[in-house]
């Protein structure tokens, strides 16, 4: 369903742009404590493989300072992976609009040897509370489709990256393989909300998740949006038959 200038999607519903963030925040407040368990269950552990594939593209320096920002960082999965992939001078800033998700991230990382290399900041992807041209790489994993004004988030990614810095986005995409797409739809719309209800007590949160995937722009269109924000050499890598895609762009 097309939306007008001040409207957007919240799953299947059309909502006002200024209404969406509150609805998204409610979803993640409800599921924060069980978010990690649910990720493993509904993806059969595959989210770990996808996140490893994203971080493998970053290759932080093992000897020189490397500043990374992970936006919509949630419970810290990407931040932890980047810091482990880098050297002692790698610093990762994880930003999320939801303090509840960040608290889980802080608890998970507090006693880890790399905890001093991590900083958690409550903030919105559309208006990052971060300086210009500061970071060597920016990631956003399963986050951008939740952001009401995706164009603003992309502009902010461009602003906070230094020249030569890389933007990387991991997001659910489109399954275009005949039969597999039908199985995927059946699993998504029937099993995932039911599983979400049992595990987190909230089937509606996971219905939103499934519906929001279908409303996200197709991979080529999203690559164009990244280019329109100023990034060069944009490309897309689809994984697991198109269930997810990694989009990349460079600030040159």
Round to whole Å and give the CA distance between 8 and 14.
6
- 85 CB-near residues (< 8 Å, 6+ apart): 55, 56, 58, 59, 60
Round to whole Å and give the CA distance between 201 and 173.
26
CB nearer to ligand SAM: give 24 or 67.
24
**Residue 86 CB, nearest distance to ligand SAM (Å)?**
18
Report the residue from 141, 210, 243, 245 that binds ligand SAM according to the rule CB under 6 A: 141
Half-sphere exposure of 215 (CA within 13 A, CB side): 23
154 binds ligand SAM (CB under 6 A): no
**Residue 119 CB, nearest distance to ligand SAM (Å)?**
15
Round to whole Å and give the CA distance between 95 and 112.
19
Q: Identify which range of 9-17, 67-75, 157-165, 210-218 contacts ligand SAM by CB under 6 A.
A: 67-75
Complete DSSP assignment for 219-230: HHHHHHHHHHTT
24 binds ligand SAM (CB under 6 A): yes
Q: Identify which range of 90-98, 109-117, 228-236, 242-250 contacts ligand SAM by CB under 6 A.
A: 90-98
- 186 CB-near residues (< 8 Å, 6+ apart): none
Q: Give Cα 246 to chain centroid, integer Å.
A: 10
> Packing angle between helix 17-31 and helix 192-200, nearest 10 degrees?
60
CB nearer to ligand SAM: give 89 or 106.
106
* Residue in 168, 97, 102, 88 with CA at minimum distance from that of residue 136: 168
Report the residue from 67, 69, 92, 125 that binds ligand SAM according to the rule CB under 6 A: 125
Q: Identify which range of 119-127, 159-167, 171-179, 232-240 contacts ligand SAM by CB under 6 A.
A: 119-127
Q: How many residues bind ligand SAM (CB under 6 A)?
A: 21
Report the residue from 9, 10, 11, 28 that binds ligand SAM according to the rule CB under 6 A: 28
Report the residue from 11, 60, 73, 196 that binds ligand SAM according to the rule CB under 6 A: 73
96 binds ligand SAM (CB under 6 A): yes
Count the Cβ atoms, other than its own, within 10 Å of residue 225: 18
- Residues in contact with ligand SAM by CB under 6 A are 21, 24, 28, 71-74, 77-78, 96-98, 101, 124-126, 141-143, 146-147
């Amino acid at each position: 369903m097309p939306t007008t200038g001040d409207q957007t999607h919240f799953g299947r519903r059309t909502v006002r742009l200024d209404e969406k963030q509150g609805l998204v925040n409610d979803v993640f407040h409800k599921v924060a404590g069980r978010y990690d368990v649910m990720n493993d269950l509904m993806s059969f552990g595959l989210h770990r493989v996808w996140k490893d594939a994203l971080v493998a593209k970053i290759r932080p320096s093992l000897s020189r300072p490397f500043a990374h920002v992970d936006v919509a960082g949630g419970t810290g999965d990407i931040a932890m992976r980047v810091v482990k992939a880098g050297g002692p001078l790698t610093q990762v800033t994880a930003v999320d609009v939801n303090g509840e998700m960040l608290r889980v991230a802080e608890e998970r990382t507090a006693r880890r040897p790399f905890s001093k290399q991590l900083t958690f900041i409550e903030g919105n992807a559309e208006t990052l509370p971060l300086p210009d041209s500061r970071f060597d790489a920016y990631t956003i994993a399963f986050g951008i489709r939740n952001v009401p004004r995706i164009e603003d988030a992309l502009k902010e990614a461009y602003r906070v990256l230094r020249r030569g810095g890389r933007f990387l986005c991991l997001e659910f995409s489109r399954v275009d393989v005949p039969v597999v797409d039908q199985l995927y739809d059946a699993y998504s719309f029937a099993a995932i909300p039911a599983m979400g209800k049992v595990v987190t007590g909230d089937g509606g949160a996971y219905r939103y998740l499934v519906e929001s995937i279908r409303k996200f722009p197709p991979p080529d269109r999203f690559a164009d949006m990244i280019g329109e924000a100023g990034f060069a050499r944009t490309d897309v890598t689809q994984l697991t038959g198109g269930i997810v895609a990694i989009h990349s762009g460079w600030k040159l």
